[in-house]
Structures are given as C-alpha cells and as structure tokens.
Amino acid sequence: MASIADSQPSAGEPLRARPPLERDMLAARLATAGDLTADEVAELARLDDGPDVAGDPCDSHPAAAPAPPGCGASAARMLCADELADAPPPEWLALPDDEHASLLRGGEPVAEALEAGFTHRVGGTGAGFAAGGPLDVMLPGEELAWHAGQARRRGLGACSDDELAGLGGAAARLESWAGELKLAVVAELDARRAGPGGREGEHVTEEVAAMLTLTGRSATSLVELSRRLERLDATRAMLAAGLIDTRRAAVIADHTALLPEEHAVAVQDAVLPYAAGMTTGQLAAACQRAVLACDPQGAIRRRERAQQDARVETWAEAAGTAALAGRDLPPAAVIAADKTLDADAAWLKAHGVPGSHDQLRAAAYTARLTGQPLATLLPPGSASGADPAAGGGGFCGPAREAGATSGLGGWPATGMGGSVNLTMPAATWLGRSDAPGEIPGTGPADAGTCREVAAALAVTPATRWCVTVTDNKGRAIGHGCARHGPGPPGSGDPAAWLATVKITPVETGTCTHRRETASYQPPDTLRHIIKIRSRRCGFPGCRRPAIRCDDDHTIPHHNGGKTCECNLHPLCRRHHHTKQAPGWRLGQPEPGLLIWTTPSGRKLTVTPEPYPT
C-alpha cells in the first residue's frame, strides 16, 4: 500500500483526478440511504480491511483505494446505481414496534439494549450495535437515529462495551449526516437569496447567524463551506454517509477553495480515500502536498488571500484566564516571533525566573506586548545582566522602569496604555465583595483580576471613570461620569470619591425624551449614554463593543425618527447595512429593546447585555 506522499506526482507532473465513477456511486448510494436491508447496508458501506471478495456482483467497478499504512482507514465498498435501484425496502420496518424485540438470532431470542436487533449476521457474530452487527455498519439516517434513540432511552448501562463502541460510532455518523443536512439548508437559503445571474446574495450570513444563533464569523465560515462543497460532490457525499466529519470536509474545502474546479476535484480525489483515517492535521498536510503538486501558484494565492484577513483575537478561557492570538499572519514572521519567545524564555530561565518553558514564553509574550522590559520579570535583587537581545530578544514598545514588578504576574506600576473599558461592581472595587466583573475582549473576570486592572488604570491620571447604577437584573437605570479619578491605590478614600459622582436616570420602559435633540447628529452626552445602556451591537449574537459601532436611528431621521434614547442603538457597520437591506426590518418598542424581522419572517428580540451585579 502506498502512502499519500508516495502517490503524489513528481514536480511538474499534472495531478490526475481519480475516475468520477466513485463519486457517482456515492451519490447513487445516498439517494436511497435508509431504504436498504441490513445485508444490503453491509454490502454498501461496511468497512473492510482488505480488497473486495471474489465474485462481487459489481466487480466491474473499482473499489475505494486502500488506506496507507498507519492511518487506520479501511476501504469502503461502494455499490453502483443499478444495484441500488433494485434494493427492496427492509421487511422488518413493517413490523409493529412491540414485535421488534422478538426477532430471533440463531433460533434464540435476542436480549439487547435495542428493541429491534436484526436477524442478519454481517461479517461477524455481532448483532445490533455490536461489532459486525447491522447497526454497526448502517448508513446514517432516520433509521439509525431511531435505533440510537431507543438505545439511549433504555439506558446506556444496558449496553456491553462492544455495543457502546458501536453506538458511539453510530452517533459520529449521525453527527456527520446532520452536519451535511445543515450545510444543505444553508446552501438552499443562499441560492434563494442569490441575485441576478447567480450573484451571491447579500446579508445571507447575517440571516444564517440569526437563524442558528452564531457569531458573524461562524456564520460566514458556514456559508463559505456550503459554497465550497457545491463543487466537491464526493466530499459532501462522504460527509452525508458518515465516513468523514464536518471538520475533515472543511479541511478539503478550504485547501481547494482558490483552485479551478478541475484542480479542486483532482486534489479532492487524491486525498479523500484516506481522509477517514487521518486527523485533521494529517489531512491538511496531505491537502497541502496535493495542492502544491497540482497547482503551486494556487497555494500561494490561498496564503496571500488569507493574510488579508490578518488579525489579533482575544477571548475568555473556561478556567477564567484569557487568550490573545494573531491569526493569518505571514509564516516567516510567526516563525521569527516563536523563536524570539524561545530565546526570551531561555534568558529568563538563566536569570533565575522560576517556571516551565511554556510559562516563561507566556510571560515574555505579555511583557513584550505591554511594553514591559523582560528585566522587570526578574526576581527581586537579581542583576538584569546582558540585554535579552543577546538571546534573540530586545524590547518592544515604550520602556518602563525596571523593577516595577516581578514574577510572572501583576501589572507594571507605571499603569496601562490604550483604552480598557473595565466594568465591575462597586462593592468589588471597594473590597467588600468578590462578585465578578467584565473586561470587553476577554469576557467575565474574577474580582481579583478586576481589582488589579482598576489599580493599573488608577495610576494614569487621564483614565476616565464612570459609575452606572443597575437594577437587580443588571439593567442600567442610572449613570454618572466623574470629573477626575479616585487616584492611585492608597492615595485616598474610594468610597468618599464614589459619593461625589452625580447620577442621572437612564431611560427604560416609556421614554420621557429628556435627552432628545432635534438634530440628526446626537451630542456626545447622548452617544455616551446610549453606549452605556447598550454595550454591544444590537444584532442577535453580535459581540462588537458599542464604542466601535455606529449610532443608528432605528426609524431613520428623515422618516421622522427621533434623535433620542428610544430611537438610537449601537449597530456595527456590517449589521447597520443589514438593517437597510431588502427584507429586513427593525423596531425599538422601548429604549434598548430591539425586534428584528428577517427576510424569512422570523422575529428575534435583542435586549441590552446585563451588567455584572
């Protein structure tokens, strides 16, 4: 057996596509999935460790290619369309439910966790979900889902280890089948929203995001994957058959996205026979080799286009920590940065900083991004020694006073640069509570982290301080802005300072229009209160902070809409355009409460994100 690398053509040699017959057989096989007897299902999709047996009723057709050594994949025997056309419906489906469990195996009652064990013996002595049993090899669909549901309802404790393994495999096949169904639904919606000449419809991703409660980026990825699979019939068919999962299908689709259709299909056919037994990392490497062999310039185009989406992302981790990562960066720059962090970690280790290599890399990473010299991470009393640039380091950003802090945590005593919109309960800030707060970009933060950030912000005199009063549900009902901050920690009485902040009401329920203005452009005070009340874009699921959004008139100003709290709401530029697109409607029946109507007629309600209380 040849590995995927061995099967690649030499440089300059065109990559030959596999015969389209395998794709045709897959499509025909799926057309009647769920209407086959157990024997036919086994003949159709049974995973086999060797070549097809002699006397195969369809041995005029090639079998799927064998798997390369070590990848764990097996060959899947495919039936042709003529065989499927004559497949009779399974007789056992006509039995009443209460007779399913009475089916016999070898003349004895079948005592399984399933109501309907098959009487057939398929490649072994198992029945039901056991190895070699019909449910262990059945194609995903409503029949397999019914049996899996029955097993779950009766209790997994009744399953043997063998049956449990088979049931897990069935669940994976059903998940793939459902994933293909979801992609097909998205593709159909996309086709219905298409413009003249098949032009891609506008704001389809927003409709998908609202329909499936996804972020804009996730919805975009889903729509793009559905479009890319439109020309990869075999990949889509393998997904629907449960032979690969959505992640593997996405790997193939992503790597062939910028190739002409002929080359895309050739790459697909080169890697697909092995895809089921590969991890996504192995499959990605195989795809890259196939793309380079087929169309080297296509790989370059794919990388260059991806780099146009270069970005830095932040998110909250489940443990209460946070993450910061650069995405779609130039490979050479990433390699250089990675080696620089290795050198920084070695320098810190050599100068007595405790911690593992990964911990020291992380400390150097955050120090560089915050403009903090590596020397400030040294233990107290340590000599800074040589410049870390000697080990591939150097300083990034403005230098700060050495020795301001030490160890792997904490903030530099000189404060924090940039803009940080920290939100925390006053009782937490005053040390009377350990209620969590929130830091946009990373999400919820524990009380200790919030107090550290607040202390770092207090060092900078230019920090702006606001106080928002909420009800017991976290809804903003009052707000005030301070003329000056409380000062660095230990410099005064925070509670006394808090009492000096003047609080004014935030409109809720029926608006009194106290901040209404006749002009189109809202004054800064009104913009500020709108962003305090509604801290994020008003589109369902969008997490873009309000400070980076437009101040949208729900009813356009030229149509009589007020410039007031009851008719203004933050919308990011993308969803501002969505609101104006044909078929979309938006209403704000009370301040901060939005009701979206999608082109399909579905109504979605958005309320302001509550503050931590």
| Residue-by-residue DSSP string for 126-165 | --TTSTTSHHHHPPSSHHHHHHHHHHHHH-GGGS-HHHHH
- 41 plus 162 within the same structural domain: yes
Look at residue 513 in the predicted model and tell me its pLDDT. Answer: 96
Of 167, 198, 216, the residue at which a domain comes to its end is 167
79 and 44, same structural domain? yes
* Cα atoms in the Cβ-side hemisphere of radius 13 Å centred on 116: 22
- Of 12-26, 271-285, 521-535, the range with the lowest mean pLDDT is 12-26
Phi, psi of 468 (to 5 degrees): -120, 130
Calpha distance 414→358 (Å, rounded)? 26
Half-sphere exposure of 450 (CA within 13 A, CB side): 25
Tokens linked to 554: 């729900």
Note the pLDDT tens digit of each residue in 81-113.
333 333 333 333 333 434 333 332 333 333 333
From 21-25, 175-179, 351-355, the region with the lowest mean pLDDT:
21-25
Across the range 480-504, mean pLDDT stands at 83
> Is pLDDT above 60 for 412?
no
Report the half-sphere exposure of 382 (CA within 13 A, side-chain side): 23
- One domain, residues 223 and 291: yes
Share of the chain above pLDDT 90, in %: 36
In this model, does residue 199 exceed pLDDT 70? yes
Per-residue pLDDT tens over the stretch 452-473: 888 888 887 778 888 888 888 8
Residue 612 lies in a domain: no
Q: Let me know if residue 158 belongs to a domain.
A: yes
162 within a domain of the structure (yes/no): yes
pLDDT band at 407 (very low <50, low <70, confident <90, very high): very low
Residues 177 and 134 in one domain: no
Predicted local confidence at residue 547, as pLDDT? 87
Tens of pLDDT, residue by residue over 143-152, are: 999 999 999 9
Collapsing DSSP to helix, strand or coil, 275 comes out as helix
Return the pLDDT at 127. Answer: 63
Same domain, 387 and 464: no
More confident residue, 513 or 200: 513
Residue 373 neighbours by CB under 8 Å, 6+ apart:
367, 395, 399, 400, 402
Is position 611 within any domain? no
pLDDT for 55: 34
Residue 387 predicted with pLDDT over 80:
no
Backbone angles phi, psi at 504, to 5 degrees: -120, 155
For residue 579, what pLDDT band results from cuts at 50, 70 and 90? Answer: very high
Tokens standing for 164? 């449990």
Do residue 47 and residue 138 come from a single domain? yes
**294 and 176 inside one domain:** yes
- DSSP element (H, E) containing 311: strand 311-316
pTM of the model: 0.62
Confidence band for 383, pLDDT divided at 50, 70 and 90? low
pLDDT of residue 45: 39
Of 167, 190, 213, the position where a domain reaches its end is 167
Please indicate, yes or no, whether residues 148 and 175 belong to a single structural domain of this protein: no
Note whether 163 and 176 are same-domain residues: no
- Our count of domains for the chain comes to 5
- Mean pLDDT over residues 51-61, rounded? 33
Give yes or no for residue 5 having a pLDDT over 50. Answer: no
The encoded tokens of residue 338 equal: 């990675």
pLDDT digits (tens, 9 = 90+) for 232-277: 999 999 999 999 999 999 999 999 988 889 999 999 999 998 898 8
Q: Does 201 lie in the same domain as 185?
A: yes
571: phi then psi, degrees, rounded to nearest 5? -135, 130
Q: What DSSP string runs through 497-563?
A: HHTTS--EE---SS---TT-BSSSSPPHHHHHHHHHHS-B-SSTT---BGGGSEEEESS-GGGT--B
Residue 302 has a pLDDT of 72
Average pLDDT, the chain: 75
**Band of residue 321 on the pLDDT scale cut at 50, 70, 90:** confident
Confidence label for 400 from pLDDT (cuts 50, 70 and 90): very low
DSSP string, 407-452: SSSS--TT---S----B--HHHHTTS----EEETTTEEE-HHHHHH
Give me the pLDDT at residue 4, please. 32
pLDDT tens per residue, range 502-543: 889 999 999 999 999 999 999 999 999 999 999 999 999 888
In a domain, 413, yes or no: no
- Within a domain: residue 549? yes
Range from 43-57, 184-198, 244-258 carrying the lowest mean pLDDT: 43-57
Indicate if the pLDDT at residue 335 is higher than 80.
Answer: no
pLDDT at 404 > cutoff 50: no
Q: Does 548 lie in the same domain as 457?
A: no
Find the mean pLDDT for residues 289-306. 78
In this prediction, residues 198-210 reach a mean pLDDT of 87
Predicted confidence at residue 276, as pLDDT, reads 87
Residue at which a domain ends, from 457, 478, 505: 505
Structural domain including 161 reads 36-167
Task: Identify whether residues 528 and 567 lie together within a single domain.
Answer: yes
Residue 401 lies in a domain: no
Q: Is 154 part of a structural domain of the chain?
A: yes
Q: Which of 455-459, 510-514, 561-565, 572-576 has the lowest mean pLDDT?
A: 455-459
At residue 298, does pLDDT exceed 60? Answer: yes
